[in-house]
């Protein structure tokens, strides 16, 4: 499809978003990233049935943790798209990049 | 198991005050199962502390360590070698664990990171519910295996009260009326005649009202 998305987005591949763990996201922030988003399959279409639903709940939980520590819950998000929706993938990458740009660099990276 | 809730991060920070060398100490038993103070939760709290202090530009040292139990001295002794390197031990065990660690490290500040709440069961993954208040004189035989002390809002020994409606307690419509459960189970198990027996006033001295309790088994002593 030759779609382009912002080069600042680093992709971490997982077998299923059900593998996304609260600690995994926190560690990413500790390492200094400005934001994290989870790109899962459409709800109801998880190959492992509920992986993406669980991921969403974990992302919500991390939002609360990031609020607590003062980084702001907006730095983490969950998006759903199907494997064939490359357009949507690129669109969310741009949306998230824009959102993070407005929030500025992570205060952890000082 | 013993069930608790993590304290608010803000409260933990306040209690830590200016101390920046922190040993976050987990426990592998009940608090692990109820997702409040095991290795993972130690990781989450330690990560929160690191993120917060990094953001504030502070220097700090946070160590994560989880013991098999914090209510047995042989495990507590395992941190003897490095506990002194930290200003504070932030215990994620139940209140018993926090106290026992603090007894073992008298010169150290030991702080609780968890609010210990009840003795209960896992209803489903991620949901726990209270079952027992450790009254010291169990009456479950009289109440078809449902504890009115822990599960009736008024701890009524002869219920239900007038607030029982549609199987729910008057405190909120999410909470089952313990006495409705008792009557249902008495019926199910063919013991309805039990319901006619008036339970006598309970002697609360076997419970907390009789002061701190202790159990001794001479035959088990070394
Ligand atoms: S009667 Fe007492 S010991 Fe038995 S379950 Fe209730 S509180 Fe616990
Ligand atoms: S409604 Fe039931 S559980 Fe609630 S206080 Fe009355 S008897 Fe106890």
Same domain, residue pair B114 and B8: yes
| Closest residue to atom 2 of ligand 2, CA basis | B177
Q: How many domains does chain B have?
A: 2
In chain B, % of residues over pLDDT 90: 100
Asked if residue B107 is part of any domain, the answer here is yes
Task: Write the pLDDT tens digit of every residue in B154-163.
Answer: 999 999 999 9
Asked if residue B186 is part of any domain, the answer here is yes
Asked if residue B99 is part of any domain, the answer here is yes
Asked if residue B29 is part of any domain, the answer here is yes
B contact residues 49-88, partner A, Cβ 8 Å cutoff? 50-52, 54-55, 57
Same domain, residue pair B94 and B164: no
Task: Write the pLDDT tens digit of every residue in A61-98.
Answer: 999 999 999 999 999 999 999 989 999 999 999 999 99
Same domain, residue pair B24 and B113: yes
Same domain, residue pair B91 and B29: yes
Task: Write the pLDDT tens digit of every residue in B126-157.
Answer: 999 999 999 999 999 999 999 999 999 999 99
pLDDT-derived band at A109 (thresholds 50, 70, 90) equals confident
User: Is residue B198 helix, strand or coil?
Assistant: coil
- pLDDT score of A47 more than 90: yes
Of B118, B152, B174, the residue that ends a domain is B118
Same domain, residue pair B91 and B194: no
What CATH number should be reported for the domain holding residue B28? Answer: 3.40.50.11860
Q: What global pTM score does this model have?
A: 0.94
How many other C-beta atoms lie within 10 A of the C-beta of residue B137?
11
Asked if residue A28 is part of any domain, the answer here is yes
Q: Fill in the DSSP letter of residue B176.
A: B
Asked if residue B100 is part of any domain, the answer here is yes
Asked if residue A77 is part of any domain, the answer here is yes
Same domain, residue pair B111 and B8: yes
Task: Write the pLDDT tens digit of every residue in B19-65.
Answer: 999 999 999 999 999 999 999 999 999 999 999 999 999 999 999 99
What is the extent of the structural domain holding B69? 2-118
Same domain, residue pair B34 and B63: yes
CB-nearest to A26 from B8, B44, B57 is B44
A contact residues 27-86, partner B, Cβ 8 Å cutoff? 27, 29-30, 65-66, 68-71
Q: Is the interface score ipTM higher than 0.90?
A: yes
**Helix, strand, coil shares, percent, chain B, to 5:** 35, 20, 45
Set of chain B residues whose Cβ sits within 8 Å of the Cβ of A110: 54-55, 57
| Closest residue to atom 1 of ligand 1, CA basis | B138
**Cα distance between residue B64 and residue B47, in whole Å:** 10
CB contact under 8 A, B44 and A70: no
What is the extent of the structural domain holding A22? 17-83
Task: Write the pLDDT tens digit of every residue in A35-45.
Answer: 999 999 999 99
Same domain, residue pair B65 and B141: no
Asked if residue B96 is part of any domain, the answer here is yes
Say if CB B10 and CB A68 are below 8 A apart. yes
Cis amide prior to B160 (ω within 30 degrees): yes
Asked if residue B98 is part of any domain, the answer here is yes
Set of chain A residues whose Cβ sits within 8 Å of the Cβ of B51: 26, 29-30, 66, 69, 71, 108
Q: How many domains does chain A have?
A: 1
Assigned token pair, B130: 């209270």
Asked if residue A8 is part of any domain, the answer here is no
Assigned token pair, A21: 């763990």
Same domain, residue pair B108 and B171: no
């Amino acid at each position: 499809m030759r779609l382009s998305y912002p080069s600042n987005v680093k992709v971490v591949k997982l077998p299923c978003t059900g593998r996304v763990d609260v600690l995994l996201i926190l560690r990413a922030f500790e390492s200094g990233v400005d934001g994290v988003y989870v790109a899962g399959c459409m709800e109801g279409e998880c190959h492992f049935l509920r992986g993406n639903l669980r991921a969403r709940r974990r992302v919500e939980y991390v939002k609360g943790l990031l609020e607590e520590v003062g980084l702001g819950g907006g730095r983490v998000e969950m998006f759903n798209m199907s494997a064939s929706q490359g357009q949507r993938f690129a669109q969310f990458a741009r949306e998230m990049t824009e959102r993070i740009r407005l929030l500025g660099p992570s205060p952890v990276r000082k | 198991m013993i069930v608790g809730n993590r304290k608010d991060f803000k409260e933990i920070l306040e209690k830590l005050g200016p101390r920046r060398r922190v040993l976050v100490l987990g426990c592998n038993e009940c608090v692990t199962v109820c997702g409040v103070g095991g290795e993972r939760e130690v990781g989450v709290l330690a990560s929160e502390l690191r993120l917060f202090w990094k953001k504030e530009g502070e220097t700090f040292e946070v160590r994560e360590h989880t013991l098999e139990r914090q209510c047995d001295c042989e495990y507590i002794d395992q941190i003897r070698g490095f506990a002194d390197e930290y200003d504070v031990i932030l215990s994620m065990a139940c209140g018993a664990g926090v106290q026992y660690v603090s007894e073992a490290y008298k010169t150290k500040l030991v702080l609780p990171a968890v609010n210990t709440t009840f003795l209960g069961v896992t209803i489903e993954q991620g949901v726990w519910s209270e079952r027992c208040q450790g009254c010291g004189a169990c009456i479950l035989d009289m109440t078809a295996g449902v504890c009115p002390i822990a599960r009736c809002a008024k701890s009524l020994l002869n219920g239900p009260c007038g607030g029982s409606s549609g199987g729910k307690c008057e405190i909120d419509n999410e909470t089952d009326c313990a006495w409705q459960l008792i009557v249902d189970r008495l019926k199910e198990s063919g013991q309805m005649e039990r319901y006619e027996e008036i339970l006598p006033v309970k002697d609360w001295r076997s419970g907390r009202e009789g002061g701190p309790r202790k159990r001794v088994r001479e035959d088990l002593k070394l």
